[in-house]
Structure 1
Amino acid sequence: MLFFIRCKPALSWVIGLALMYLAQWSGAAQLAAIETPPFEPDERLVLDAQELKWIKENPRVIVASMQFPLYLFKNELGQWNGLNHDILQRIAQMTGLEFVHRESFSPDQLLAMLENGEADMTTTLAMNDERRNFLSFSHAFGGSGWVFVGRDGESALHSMEQLEGKILALPARHALEAEIRRDYPAIELRTVKTYGEARALVESREAYATIENETGVHLYPAGQLQVGRNLEGKWEPDYLAVRQDLTPLLAILNKALEAFPANEMRALRSKWMAGITPSQAPSFWSRVSQWGYWCVTVVVMFGLLSLLWNRRLQIQIDQRLKAEAVLKDQLMLQRALMDAIPDPIFIRDLEGRLVMCNKSYEEQLATRFEKLRGTRLTDSAPFPADTAELLHGEVMEQLRTGQPRFVDRQLMFSNGLREIYHWSVPFYGADGQLRGILGGWIDVGRRWSRSEKLLA
């Protein structure tokens, strides 16, 4: 039961985010159901020979797309829809290009796709200095502002100065991130992957506020959040952003936007953006009544879940205790086997640090494993400096090549020169990844001396 109580905040987040997503999806899907006004039949866009050649050689344009309500999202059939999708479809009719969406799930991932050449363009990025380093932006074809989203019950935010000394949650590589870090160093920025995670941090009071595009912010249920004022002077035009090495594509898109019929653009924006206004806050008594019903429902639901969870938790605890007992037995057996081997054996990780050794290794180097645990050969005293450097270099080279090593050699130890048979092999984890080196040696000289004594 204690575990379940501690998990309540996390479960509340999951349920809240699921409800927010369903509300967002249903609202956007209803808008998508409205048919787009038919386009007037026009002649193909007039392009020069170089642009026509580029289209012939590159008929498919990969668009890095992140779901952004009203602008770009997937409907209930998994098909892309929204204002930007309709604009791309119209440009496709005008130019003959085919726009293929490749989905990303965060601003950081979307930018990485463009930087790595996995996509040619995108439709939902605001312009800033960082993005201008590797992207070119088309003519603007609309725009919107940024708004503060804070906690319900707090004073409404209206300026960046109110956030000084407080935590502001933003998706990584947000359009305003660099500017805020530069102009408002007193604001503590916490970056997350998505806008949904940023809202969740504000709602759970781990952050004081976040900043979102004003067009889609009212599509989400208010919950424990409230929308503040617009950021003064932060109007962001809508652009098509293209990789800088695709200059012909940018020229084609600009020509298409210039030739885009103004009445059709107005019709599209009216279809998707009409009616997106802040909803009126419910009265105090209405909210109290709603909270009463919700509290009863939540208490009953959590009571049932607690019974199921406790039963499931007890089963998992029993299984884990059995698994731990089996694992301890295996480890004890493994240790006994290693210590029973008369020759020195060691295990080193990918950095050359000692992970495990047997009793013979400790005895031949006249030390204890506790003193050597986590050390490299160059950090320990049992070998002279030259020998330690040589052996450490061989270990790192073997980790790089992944080849086993079996060799007769003479090696200088701290107590003198020895003739040994030295072996080492790379070992791998269950996932097939290299984990380190397993090795050891046989003191050939000592064995020969023992054999001679026995023969004598």
Structure 2
Amino acid sequence: MLFDRGLKPALVGVLLCGLLGLMRCSVAAQLALHGDAATHNVQPVELAAHEREWIRDNPTVTVASLQYPLYLFQDEHGQWSGLNNDVLKRVTAMTGLQFVHQESFSTDHMLERLKSGAADISTTLAISEERKAFLDYSHAFGGAGWVFVGRADAPRLESFEQLAGRRLVLPARHALEDTIRRDFPSIVIHSVKTYAEARALVESGEAYATIENEIGAQLYPLGPLKVGGLVEGKWEADNLAVRKGMPVLLGILNKALEAFPPAELRAIRLKWLEGVAPAPAPTIGRQLLEWACWVMGGLGLFGLLSLVWNRRLRAVIKLRLAAEKDLGDQLAFQHALIDALPDPVFVRDLHGRLITCNRSYEEALSVRLDQVIGRLLIELDTLPEATALMLHEEFMLQLRTRKSRFSKRRLQFNNGPREVYQWTVPFYSADGKLRGLLGGWTDISQRRAESGCQCPQ
């Protein structure tokens, strides 16, 4: 009876509160998955015949991309991510356009790429009169205000009048620069390349303030800085900037943005921007309620631990797969790095068999890796027989003596003699065991020919 009247209802209440706590966490997970799931059932936008023909002739659009968290940035794997990238993915699903990112390193650099035609669009450029001369802008799909950022020990900045006679630091060709110079000539404007440089100058006291997007101003620990008021009457709309002379592309983008479901756009913005802007201070009652929810949620989770213990093995497997993926990423990076070297490079095992090589090695000897991997140099016809035998014997001698070799010499190749700078060094495993040889050469004859050098051989 006592269990039915008291303990049983209490236990049920604890479990319900725990489930409520878990539901709050699941909402965030659903928002994170929403962007990927939404693109599977996208209705294509209706395009005119000349627009479809333009996409067939121009299937890819080059995006001048500047790191601008949380709108556009490269993640730990080097992939472009962020709110604007999700919007571009949705436009791809609706129109078939493919967007290729090319990184820019400052606003000025991005503008020059667009002006010269090296890039077609940008997703992070605010509208200004200077930019309208060579850029067209799509419909807006969001936006944020501009805020003053000054030192924490200085009075809070609320207006441009407070900056009269003071130094304001802005990234070069900032969207508000022309307006400030025209309307507030007493403000001394200093230009830098990036927002990070601008913040650093304000921190050091070399400048009095800077101006940032209100979302971006909240992304970094403020430390000695303080966010001031909004710049009155100024708004940074989220647009796609398209270089002049591409009206068909602008029309396609506008059609896609017009057809963008408002609920989905709100979900994407919530996914990236929720929690960035400072929230109002909660009341004591709200804090007590939230603490109570956390306590009850913790008790509920404690009661559920016995039910989820069997999932531990699945979690371990997931971690193992993630580690294998990371290892695969590292190997892919190393392979890309060795392929990028301009000189031939090879790796051989303790018996002189080829383990791997780069593209320059394949091109120099007119072979493919899959044809020569695991083979000795003397088993192939990639070099004259005498040259192959001499090099193989040198490799085996180095493996016995464990000595490195660096020499400038003349070698006979299948297409004639070449003067090269050759190097081979032993390499070891993490436990200090000899694993083989790493080597390569620089074709001095080719370098001289390419440079037009008439120096004696």
TM (norm. structure 2) is 0.54
Matches within 5 A, 1:319-398: none
- Mapped to 2, the partners of 1:142 and 1:73 lie a distance apart of 18
Superposed, 1:412-427 pairs within 5 Å as none
Q: Cα–Cα, structure 1 residues 58 and 199, in superposed 2: closer, same or farther, change >3 Å?
A: same
**For residue 186 of structure 1, what is the aligned residue in structure 2?**
186
Structure 2: how far apart are the matches of 1:36 and 1:106? 32
Tell me if 1:62 matches 2:73.
no
Q: In 2, distance between residues paired with 1:81 and 1:249?
A: 22
Look up the SS of the partner of 2:55 in the other structure.
Answer: helix
Aligned to 2:33: 35
Map of 1:176 onto structure 2: 176
Q: How does 1:202-213 map to 2 (within 5 A)?
A: 202-213=202-213
Alpha-carbon offset, residue 168 of structure 1:
0.1
SS of match in other structure, 1:103: strand
SS in structure 2 of the partner of residue 34 of structure 1 = helix
**Does 2:147 match 1:127?**
no
Partners of 1:152 and 1:182 in 2: how far apart?
28
Aligned residues: 253
CA distance in 2, matches of 1:109, 1:276: 28
The separation in 1 between residues aligned to 2:69 and 2:137, in whole angstroms, is 21
Secondary structure at the counterpart of residue 32 of structure 2: coil
Query: One-letter code of the match for 2:149?
Result: V
**2:112 corresponds to which residue?**
112
* Aligned AA (2:272): W
Check conservation: 2:150, 2:202, Cα contact below 8 A. yes
- Residues of 2 paired with 1:226 and 1:183: CA distance? 25
Cα distance in structure 2, aligned partners of 1:170 and 1:109: 15
Amino acid across the alignment from 1:84: N
Find the structure with the greater CA-based Rg. 1
**Cα distance, 1:171–1:90 mapped onto 2, change above 3 Å:** same
In the other structure, the counterpart of 2:23 is none
Residue aligned with 1:39, SS: helix
Shift of 1:42: 3.0
Matches within 5 A, 1:51-450: 51-278=51-278
- Give 1:186 deviation, angstroms: 0.2
Aligned partners of 2:89 and 2:238: how far apart in 1?
A: 17
Secondary structure of 1:178's counterpart equals helix
Distance 1:278 1:227 in 2: 10
Alpha-carbon shift at residue 261 of structure 1 (Å): 1.0
What does residue 359 of structure 1 align with? none
- The gaps in structure 2 that reach 5 residues or longer are 1-27, 282-450, 452-457
Q: Deviations over 1:246-271 (max 9, x none)?
A: 11000000000001111111110110
Secondary structure at 2:33's aligned position in 1?
coil
| Secondary structure in 2 matching 1:78 | coil
Q: 1:280 to 1:257 in 2, by over 3 A?
A: closer
Is the Cα contact below 8 Å between 2:60 and 2:100 reproduced in 1? yes
Contact residue 65 and residue 103 of structure 2 kept, 8 A:
yes
Q: Is the 8 A contact 2:157 2:229 kept in 1?
A: yes
Inter-partner Cα distance in structure 1 for 2:115 and 2:165: 34
How far off its partner does 1:222 sit?
Answer: 1.1
Cα separation, 2, equivalents of 1:49 and 1:82? 32
Residue 214 of structure 1, CA deviation: 0.4
- 1:203/1:279 Cα in 2 relative to 1: closer, same or farther (>3 Å)? farther
Give aligned-pair identity as a percent: 58
Alpha-carbon deviations, 1:185-236, whole Å to 9, x = none? 0000000000000000000000000000001211111111100011111122
Give the RMSD, CA atoms, in angstroms.
2.0
Deviates more, 1:271-280 or 1:156-165: 271-280
Distance 1:177 1:219 in 2: 23
- Per the TM alignment, residue 36 of structure 1 is displaced from its structure 2 partner at its CA by 3.7
How far the C-alpha of 1:241 sits from its partner, in A, is 0.5
Counterpart secondary structure, 1:158: coil
Residue 84 (structure 1) shift: 0.3
- Alpha-carbon distance in 2 for matches of 1:36, 1:77: 21
**For the residues of structure 1 that align with 2:132 and 2:176, how far apart are their CA atoms?**
14
Partner of 1:3: none
SS in 2 for 1:102: strand
Q: Which letter does structure 2 place at the counterpart of 1:225?
A: L
In the alignment, the residues of structure 2 paired with residue 197 and residue 51 of structure 1 have an alpha-carbon distance, to the nearest angstrom, of 42
Q: CA deviation at 1:279?
A: 7.4
Partner Cα distance (1:143, 1:227) in 2: 18
Instruction: Kindly provide the CA deviation profile for residues 141-168 of structure 1, in whole angstroms up to 9, marking residues without a partner as x.
Output: 1110000000111100000000010000
**Letter in structure 2 aligned against 1:111:** L
One-letter amino acid of the structure 2 residue matched with residue 211 of structure 1: I
The superposition leaves residues 79-127 of structure 1 with CA deviations (integer Å, 9 ceiling, x where unpaired) of 1000000000000011111000010011100100000111000000110
Residue 34 of structure 1: CA displacement?
Answer: 3.3
SS at match of 1:108: helix
- Rounded Cα–Cα distance in structure 1 between residues aligned with 2:224 and 2:232: 24
State whether residues 75 and 81 of structure 2, in contact with CA within 8 Å, keep that contact through their aligned partners in structure 1. yes
Separation of aligned partners in 2, 1:115 and 1:261: 32
Quick one: distance in 2 between partners of 1:106 and 1:143?
21
Query: Displacement, 1:280?
Result: 8.9
Shift of 1:278: 2.8
**Aligned-partner Cα distance in 2 for 1:174–1:252:** 28
Secondary structure of 2:84's partner? helix
**Contact 2:42/2:93 (8 A) holds in 1:** no
Aligned to 1:358: none
The CA distance in 1 between the partners of 2:172 and 2:116, in whole Å, is: 17
Task: Give the match's secondary structure for 2:38.
Answer: coil
Paired with 2:75 and 2:98, the residues of 1 have a C-alpha distance of: 20
Structure 2 equivalent of residue 294 of structure 1: none
State the alpha-carbon separation in 1 of the partners of residues 278 and 154 from structure 2.
18
Contact 2:202 2:209 in 1 (8 A): yes
2 CA distance for matches of 1:34 and 1:143? Answer: 21
C-alpha contact (below 8 Å) 2:147/2:214 kept by paired residues: yes
